[in-house]
Structure 1
Amino acid sequence: MSIPRLYLDQPLEAGREVPATPGQAHYLGSVMRRGPGDAVLLFNGRHGEWEGRIAAIRKDRCALLPERQARPQPPQADTRLLVAALKRDAMEWVVEKATELGIGLIQPVFTRRSVADRVNAARLAAIAQEAAEQCERLSLPRIGAPQPLPAVLEAWDGIPLLVGAERGERPPLARAAKGLHAPWAWLVGPEGGFDRVELDDLARRAFVSTAALGPRILRAETAAIAGLTLLQALAGDWTE
């Protein structure tokens, strides 16, 4: 029987009861059919993973008791995904998979050809939390407030930003990432690609490198995750 694993925005220490959210209480009691004394795994993104027990549960109320730390909190590498706002299902899928891949920041951006004009950041944060609980990650990615791409670039802190460009003569991403180590970021445009003004703006910035993802045209969500997979393998925590 699998042990439920929950993220709590609470300090975790041995013997100190912490409350679950009403949704978590419903999940434990009604969905997982757990009761007092049953085992849980807890994490908060700061204090590692804890083995614990359900101290009390009733309808939408639940108290959880951390007992011992099972895994210490590792440092979070500064890895980022910038992705043009996509349609809801595609955007949610990207957030789920980027969370599973261990990305530290997911930043939705609005571009000239974005297919969506709004992003539900709260919904994306909930999806990221659920994905982190399921993949045994010890932290949650930050979900950035959606912003226009020029605003994000103007406020950029200078870490290497690799940009997926499907047209023109671009080096393969594996070559562009040679020798790269975190921190880094990966930017993917909308289904119609970046327009010329955006490409010119990116080209003039010293921290930007453009790269290709093979001979085929990829959907935006495919390009986002394919690029992150390659970067994690070459310059991320898959090398550890």
Structure 2
Amino acid sequence: MPRTHATLPRLFVDADLAQSAEITLDKDQSLYLAAVLRKAIGDEAVLFNGRDGAWLCRLTADSKKSVALQCVEQIAPQPPRLDLWYGFAPLKNERLDYVIQKAVEMGTGTIQPVMTQLTQVHRLKTDRLHANAIEAAEQCEVLNVPEIAPEVTLERLLACWPVEHAERQLIFADEAAASASPLETLQSLKGKKVGLLIGPEGGFSPSEREKLLSLSFVTPISLGPRILRADTAAVAALAVIQATIGDWR
């Protein structure tokens, strides 16, 4: 998005965006623009929907209950859908929010909650995960909002992987592996579709780790000599993947 538009409010909408299209915001978004930001008729905002790129839009109605905008021009094309798959064992409260936000910022295309034997959280609010992903995209000028996949057990994920992700290699952060740089291992996956799996606090159970290491579609990596918290490990692994074989190159 051009830097001249970077200071404008950015909102995710479900509606189609096109030249001269009229968009009516929902109640919460209307309240945010009209009451919180005090935007009035003639003011501008940026809207995106994950399909049609980013659009500069101008307010045509500024009721606190129903703000309407008209699309003026597309200011950024829609980029290709992001391909990086990210699976993680859910964490508690704020740390869960943090993981979702950082996964969006780091360029994941699918976010998959995975229930393991040592997972601390067993009931997820999918709406909250989706809201966090949208908020992160709004704040960071991301036009692709990742899919939030339904939670799945690790056992089922691994059983279905060869069918559902036949051409994708699953990278798993192995906290029990000897300390080593992951760069050489990741370089060997260059050109392949990949996914990343991060375990819970306390790591994978011995039986889960044994199962992971036995599968041909799983590639273990070390994240260095220190024990990382699960949320830190997620950011570190996503960064090194994107820098080595992802879209940072």
Structure 1 residues 62-93: Cα deviation after superposition (integer angstroms, max 9, x where no partner): 11111111111111231011101111211110
Q: 3-state DSSP class of the match of 2:34?
A: helix
User: Compared with structure 1, are the counterparts of its residues 87 and 181 closer, same or farther at alpha carbon in structure 2 (3 Å cutoff)?
Assistant: farther
In the TM superposition, residue 172 of structure 1 has moved relative to its aligned partner by 2.9
- Cross-structure match for 2:151: 146
TM-score normalised to structure 2 length: 0.92
Counterpart pick for 1:197 among 202, 207, 220: 207
State the partner residue of 1:231.
Answer: 241
Aligned residue number for residue 11 of structure 1: 16
Tell me, yes or no, if the aligned pair for 1:99 and 1:140 is still in contact at 8 Å: yes
One-letter code of the match for 1:169?
A
| Deviation at residue 151 of structure 1 after TM alignment | 1.2
Would you say 1:166 and 2:175 are equivalent positions? yes
Please identify, of 97-106 and 196-205, the stretch whose mean Cα deviation from structure 2 is larger: 196-205
Q: For structure 1, which runs of at least 5 residues remain unmatched after alignment?
A: none
Letter in structure 2 aligned against 1:32: L
2:224 to 184, 207, 214: 214
Return the alpha-carbon distance in structure 2 between the equivalents of residues 32 and 181 of structure 1: 45
Identical counterparts, % of pairs: 39
- What is the CA distance between 1:170 and its match in structure 2? 6.5
- Any conservation in 2 of the 1:78–1:182 contact (CA below 8 Å)? no
Task: Tell me, in whole angstroms, the C-alpha distance in 2 between the residues paired with 1:60 and 1:226.
Answer: 42
TM-score of the superposed pair, with normalisation by structure 1: 0.95
- 1:5-154 matches, within 5 Å, as 5-154=10-159
CA distance in 2, matches of 1:86, 1:175: 30
Distance 2:70 2:44 in 1: 10
- C-alpha separation between the residues in 2 aligned to 1:29 and 1:58? 7
C-alpha deviation, 1:169, in angstroms: 3.2
1:25 corresponds to which letter in structure 2? S
| One-letter amino acid of the counterpart of residue 200, structure 1 | E
Amino acid at match of 2:13: L
Residue of structure 1 equivalent to 2:3:
none
- Return the letter of the residue paired with 1:128: A
Take 2:121 and 2:8, find their aligned partners in 1: how far apart are those partners?
38
Kindly report the root-mean-square deviation, in angstroms, between the aligned alpha carbons of the 2 structures: 1.4
Work out the number of aligned pairs and report it: 239
Q: Which amino acid letter does the alignment assign opposite residue 186 of structure 2?
A: A
- Report the 3-state secondary structure (helix = DSSP H, G, I; strand = E; otherwise coil) of the residue aligned with 1:160: strand
Does the residue aligned with 1:238 lie in a helix, a strand or coil? coil
Give the superposition deviation at 1:198: 0.7
Distance across 1 between alignment mates of 2:192 and 2:32: 36
Distance (Å, rounded) in 2 between the aligned partners of 1:215 and 1:181: 28
The answer to whether the 8 Å contact 1:57/1:63 transfers is yes
Q: Give CA-to-partner distance per residue, 1:199-232, whole Å, 9 cap, x none.
A: 1221222110111001000000100111001111
Gapped regions of structure 2 (runs ≥ 5): 1-5
Match for 2:22: what amino acid? E
Aligned partner of 2:248: which letter?
Answer: W
CA contact (8 A) 2:179 2:223 kept: no
Distance 1:232 1:86, change over 3 A: same
Change (3 A) 1:214 1:171: closer
